[in-house]
Amino acid sequence: MIKGVLEIELREKIITLNEGEFYIVPKGVEHKPVAKEEVHVLLFEPLSTKHTGDVLADITVKNYESI
């Protein structure tokens, strides 16, 4: 977390992240990040990770821009 507070809802618990903290979500674990106010995060994921999982929606990105 760079700025703010983020909650990561897992099926069995909620992880609260404050500035300067990090959490690694294990592969295959369903999770839902929730921010009650604006947050700044730095996120690392493999390119193969689909941001909407197996759900196809209007926000699903098929081709990512190279940085």
Between CA 17 and CA 3 the distance in angstroms is: 10
CB 18 within 8 A of CB 5: yes
For residue 16, list its beta bridge partners: 7
**Annotated domain spans of the chain:** 1-67
| pTM (two decimals) | 0.71
Per-residue confidence of the chain (67 residues) as pLDDT tens digits? 999 999 999 999 999 999 999 999 998 899 999 999 999 999 887 777 776 777 788 888 877 777 7
In this predicted structure, what is the pLDDT of residue 28? Answer: 86
Between CA 17 and CA 24 the distance in angstroms is: 11
End-to-end CA distance of the chain: 21
